[in-house]
Amino acid sequence: MAKIDLFFKKNLDSSVLFICILVSFLLIFSNNNQRIQNARSTTLDTFSFLYQPFNWLDNQLFLTKKLEVLSHENLKLNLENQILSSNKIENERLRNLLKFRKRNELNFIGADILSKGINSNMSSVLLDRGLVDGVDNNSVVLSSRGIVGKIIFVSDNHSGVQLVSDIDFRLSVKILPSETEGIMRWIKSDICEVVEVQTTSDVQIGDVILTSNLSIYSPPNLPVGEVISVYKESNSSNKVIRMKLFSDLSTLNQLFIVDKEG
């Protein structure tokens, strides 16, 4: 207490001045007199620049926080959009499959691809369906757009598919509307050829190619591809039809096996 008294005695003038200024400000800002209010407004306007750095800082902090929130929301929307896009593709794939089933009255076993390249000297994939699911050897395998191959071996829970892109794969097909028969073999990518086509056959670019009634293991009228070119073999009486597969072999992920028992 003695120290406080000594401090005030030594700083009496300064203490009195500070108290007077404080009381003056309190009187000014609590007084409703019009002159006092005008003086108050003028003072605030004059010294308002002192608040600008603080206002700018507050705005920057608000914008930074807002940007962080918007970035988070944008990420969530992008993820939701990707999920919706994936669901849309899957929905279209299943719709196409239902059209196949209704038109051909066939039953299908859905299967996911576990791996590609089950054999080093052929183009193939391994599926997660087998004997317990009703898969039989030589069953036809399709994507939602058309034929991609056939089953070449089956275990209890897995099966192997020989793809159209295997150089040894052959398929008996017919070309509509002329009903021209031929044998399909792979050339490259999604391009195949139909050989042993008679020269007199009426085949046009854009004609649809389906599985033939003569196919040993495939039901007839399953979609395969479309004609993109026609030319005559040298030293032969046959035409060669160049075709493009309906299915994109490079993007296969889910396949459908024709159920022979269905």
Secondary structure in 3-state letters for the chain: CHHHHHHHHHCHHHHHHHHHHHHHHHHHHHCCCHHHHHHHHHHHHHCHHHCHHHHHHHHHHHHHHHHHHHHHHHHHHHHHHHHHHHHHHHHHHHHHHHHHHHHHCCCEEEEEEEEECCCCCCCEEEECCCHHHCCCCCCEEECCCCEEEEEEEECCCCEEEEECCCCCCCEEEEEECCCEEEEEEEEECCEEEEEEEECCCCCCCCCEEEECCCCCCCCCCCEEEEEEEEEECCCCCEEEEEEEECCCHHHCCEEEEECCCC
Choose from 72-86, 106-120, 139-153 the range with maximum mean pLDDT. Answer: 139-153
Average pLDDT over residues 233-240: 79
Question: What is the distance between the alpha carbons of residues 97 and 90, in angstroms, rounded to a whole number?
Answer: 11
157-211 per-position pLDDT tens digit: 999 999 999 999 999 999 999 899 999 999 998 999 999 898 888 999 999 999 9
Q: How confident is the model at residue 107 (pLDDT cuts 50, 70, 90)?
A: confident
Average pLDDT over residues 131-141: 93
Mean pLDDT of the chain: 77
Domain with CATH 2.40.10.340 in the chain: 111-262
Average pLDDT over residues 42-48: 56
Q: How confident is the model at residue 26 (pLDDT cuts 50, 70, 90)?
A: low
Query: What pLDDT is stored for residue 232 in this prediction?
Result: 82
Q: How confident is the model at residue 235 (pLDDT cuts 50, 70, 90)?
A: confident
Query: What pLDDT is stored for residue 203 in this prediction?
Result: 92
Query: What pLDDT is stored for residue 27 in this prediction?
Result: 56
Q: How confident is the model at residue 261 (pLDDT cuts 50, 70, 90)?
A: low
- Report the candidate in 198, 261, 185, 166 with the shortest Cα–Cα distance to residue 225: 185
For residue 240, pLDDT over 60 is answered with yes
Which of 188 and 14 is assigned the larger pLDDT?
188
Average pLDDT over residues 206-222: 89
Query: What pLDDT is stored for residue 44 in this prediction?
Result: 54
Query: What pLDDT is stored for residue 211 in this prediction?
Result: 92
Which of 170 and 44 is assigned the larger pLDDT?
170
The fold for domain 111-262 equals: Thrombin, subunit H (2.40.10)
Global pTM value: 0.61
Average pLDDT over residues 103-124: 74
70-93 per-position pLDDT tens digit: 766 765 666 566 556 656 666 666
Of the listed ranges 60-74, 168-182, 245-259, the one predicted with least confidence: 60-74
Which of 103 and 215 is assigned the larger pLDDT?
215
